[in-house]
Chain A
Amino acid sequence: MNRPGCSIATNDGAFIRRNSNGTGIALRYLVVDLALLREFLLRARNADGGWGYQPGRASRLEPTCWASLALGNTLEPRVLEQWPCADGLLLERDRGTPNYGFHAQALIALRTLNLDHTAGNRTLLGALQRVKGTRLQPSTINRQDNSLQAWSWIDGTFSWVEPTAWSLLALKQWSTVSDAVTDHTRIVVAEQMLVDRCCAKGGWNYGNANMLGQELKPFVPTTAIALMSLQDRRTLPEVGRSVAFLEREATSERSGTALALALMALRAYRRPTDAVRNTLVAQLPVTLNLGKVVSAAMSVYALSETDRHAAVVL
Chain B
Amino acid sequence: MQRLSSKGRADALRLSRREFVAALAVPLAAAGCTRRPYRRSDFSLPQRSVVELLPASSYDVDFGDLIGRGLHDLGVTVRDRRVLLKPNMVEYEPGTAINTNPLVIAGAIAAFQRAGAAEVVVAEGPGHRRDTEYLLTRTGLYDHLCDHRVRFLDLNEDDVEYVPLKSNFTKLNQLALPVSVLRSDFVVSMPKLKTHHWAGMTCAMKNFFGTVPGAVYGWPKNVLHMHGIHNSILDLNATIRPHLAIVDAVTAMEGDGPIMGRPRHTGFIAVSQDVVAADATCCRVIGLDPERLPYLAEAGQFLGNIDPGRIEQRGERIDRYAAEFDVVDAFKPYRLTR
Contact, CB under 8 Å: A97 / B152? no
For B217, list chain A residues within 8 Å (CB).
153-154
Q: Is residue A295 within 8 Å, beta carbon to beta carbon, of the partner chain?
A: yes
Can you list 6 A-B pairs with a CB-CB distance of less than 8 A?
Answer: A139-B5, A140-B14, A157-B222, A207-B2, A258-B134, A292-B133
Known contacts A256-B133, A258-B131; is-contact A206 B12 (Cβ 8 Å): no
Using CB atoms and an 8 Å cutoff, list the residues of chain B in contact with chain A: 1-5, 7, 10-17, 20, 128-134, 136-138, 142, 145-146, 149-152, 154, 157-160, 176, 197, 215-220, 222-223, 226, 256, 260, 328
* Candidate in A93, A97, A142, A290 with the most chain B CB atoms within 10 angstroms: A290
Q: Specify which chain A residues have a CB less than 8 angstroms from the CB of B131 in the assembled complex.
A: 221, 253, 255, 257-258
Q: Is A137 an interface residue (CB 8 A)?
A: yes
Interfacial chain B residues near A53, Cβ < 8 Å: 154, 157-158, 215
Shortest Cβ gap from B2 to chain A (Å)? 3
Report whether B218 and A157 are in contact in the complex, using a CB–CB cutoff of 8 Å: yes
Check B134–A134 contact: CB distance below 8 A: no
Q: A2-B146, A141-B15, A212-B17 are in contact. List 5 more A-B contacts (CB 8 A).
A: A57-B158, A136-B5, A154-B222, A156-B7, A221-B131
Contacts of B138 in A (CB 8 A): 253-254
Q: Nearest Cβ distance between residue A100 and chain B, in whole angstroms?
A: 9
Whether, in the assembled complex, A92 has its beta carbon less than 8 Å from a beta carbon of chain B, the answer is yes
Q: How far is the CA of A92 from the CA of B217 in the complex (A)?
A: 10
A287 proximity list for chain B (CB < 8 A): 133
Do residues B219 and A1 form an inter-chain contact, with CB atoms below 8 A?
Answer: no
Q: What size tier do the contact residues of chain A reach?
A: 35 or more
A136–B218 touching, CB < 8 Å: no
Decide: A1 and B146 in contact? CB cutoff 8 A. yes
Tell me whether A138 and B14 are in contact (CB under 8 A): yes
| Contact in complex: B215, A160 (CB < 8 Å) | no
Smallest beta-carbon distance B149→chain A, Å? 6
Residues of A within 8 A of B10 (CB): 134-137
Contact of B1 (CB < 8 Å), options: A3, A162, A207 = A207
- Contact assessment for B216 and A255 in the assembled complex, using a CB-CB cutoff below 8 Å: no
Q: A214-B260, A221-B131, A255-B131 are in contact. Are A157 and B216 (CB under 8 A)?
A: no
What residues of B have a CB within 8 angstroms of the CB of A52 in the complex? 157, 159
In contact, B14 and A137 (Cβ under 8 angstroms): yes
Minimum CB–CB distance from B330 to chain A (whole Å) comes to 10
Q: Contact check, A99 vs B137: say whether CB atoms are below 8 A apart.
A: no
- Whether A158 is near chain B, meaning CB under 8 Å from some CB there, is yes
Residue interface bits A294-309, CB-to-B below 8 A is 1, else 0: 0100000000000000
Q: Are A254 and B197 in contact (CB under 8 A)?
A: no
- With both chains docked as a complex, state the minimum distance between the C-beta of A92 and any C-beta of chain B, in angstroms: 6
Contacts of A101 in B (CB 8 A): 218
State which of A57, A92, A158, A295 has its C-beta within 8 Å of the C-beta of B2: A158
Asked if B218 and A152 sit within 8 Å, CB to CB, the answer is yes
Give B122's nearest chain A residue, CB to CB: A1
Contact of A206 among B1, B16, B133, B137 (CB under 8 A): B1
Q: Are A216 and B1 in contact (CB under 8 A)?
A: yes
